[in-house]
A = this chain, B = another copy of it.
Amino acid sequence: MNPVSHPQKPVTTGFRRPRLGIIGGGQLAKMTAQAATQLGCEVVVLERQEDFPAHSLDTHALIGDWDDPQQVARLAAEVDVVTLENEFVSPAALGSVPVLWPKAETLALVRDKLRQKIVFAEAGLPVARFADAPTPDAVRRFGFPAVLKKRFYSYDGKGNATVHSADELPAAWVKLDGDRNPLYVEEYCPFIRELAIIITRGQDGAVVRYPVVETINRNHICNIVKAPLQVPGVADIAERAVIAVGGVGSFGLEFFELPDGRILLNEIAPRVHNTGHYTIEACECSQFENHVRAVFGWPLGSPAMRAPAAAMINLLGVGDGPGTPVGLAEALRVPGAHLHIYGKSRSAPGRKMGHVTALGATLAEALATAQRAADCVRFGRAP
């Protein structure tokens, strides 16, 4: 595919603002672009399709495949610094980018969930027992119950299969297409809660730690985030994990809390993260603004919360249909609810179409407000 450029307004003055290139144009790119434009930057997005959430916030867009080194090089030539909104871009495409944050090595490492785990284990961080699983035999040797996982391209719980016994292994192996996809295996962890945290690290090594949050998933998709949570140790582990992968920028880290109180680091995302959307309204400086600051080499802002509690609820598509919500006006009527509509052209079941954040004196209050607004909005007809 040839790149299609839609120059919006050729800059005739010769004046050049700081320019951020983002690979990917979804809601994460959109919210990053919002933070960047507030600071006077321009944003150029590389996306595969012409209609995408960040389209309304970029100075212009390059339409092309982000796994194509030529397209990525073209983006890089136009901007001062390149960053990403997803971790699936092929390492080959990133080789030619002169200024890329996070670094290509960080991305290559994080992209392979087995390598992630090895690096974390070597750094002495608490992770579930794991092993490479090139063959079904390797899984049998590891033991059951276990969770079989894809090393690459898995997100939102896609690419995982719980295997309670050897009997279930063949079906799981087929489901994940283990003969073609590299897999690994992890100890099955019956956690009581899932926790997450955003860490931003600057080019100078400065680190800010956002509050620990509880995430409540539905069908493996982040659904509700409750902030803050007092769970000692999580932020320390998270910071060490970001340092272990040489991270620069905002990172989302997910944890399991076990019945005995132990905390296990589950995975790291080398980018702004759904579990940090609440920081736009709830924190002094959002994960998005801090990501922009980090990739431009600017000082980081404070992650301190501006209210005692915050709750974020994702607005997921209930069916196929247009991307316009039903019930937006009703949701806007809920005092204290902050609505974010991503502007996707199509709704699909489980697709992230927007979110709502509310602050409160207590978690219960914030959650009730957010829920009241979220209940008003619907994307797509139920099948």
Contacting A39 at CB < 8 Å: which of B12, B61, B336, B341? B341
How many monomers of this chain does the complex have? 2
Q: Say if the beta carbon of A13 comes within 8 Å of chain B.
A: yes
Q: Say if the beta carbon of A98 comes within 8 Å of chain B.
A: no
Instruction: Mark contacts of A331-345 with chain B using CB atoms, 8 A cut-off: 1 yes-contact digit, 0 otherwise.
Output: 011011001111101
List A residues 343-365 near B (Cβ within 8 Å): 343, 345-346, 354, 359
**A299: which B residues are within 8 A, CB to CB?**
329, 332-333
**A13: which B residues are within 8 A, CB to CB?**
51, 345-346
A284–B6 alpha-carbon span in the complex (Å):
36
A354–B322 alpha-carbon span in the complex (Å):
37
Contact status of A323 and B284, CB under 8 A, knowing A40-B341, A299-B333, A354-B40: no
Interface residues in A, total, Cβ within 8 A: 60
Contacting A8 at CB < 8 Å: which of B6, B15, B329? B6
Asked whether, in the complex, the Cβ of A325 is within 8 Å of the Cβ of B50, the reply is no
- Sample of 17 more A-B contacts, CB < 8 Å, known A16-B324, A17-B324, A39-B328: A6-B9, A8-B55, A8-B61, A9-B61, A11-B50, A12-B50, A15-B322, A18-B324, A37-B57, A39-B340, A40-B343, A41-B343, A55-B59, A56-B59, A284-B336, A297-B329, A301-B335
Footprint of B on A, CB under 8 Å?
6-13, 15-18, 30, 33-34, 37-43, 50-51, 55-61, 63, 284, 293, 297-299, 301-302, 306-307, 322-325, 328-329, 332-333, 335-336, 339-343, 345-346, 354, 359
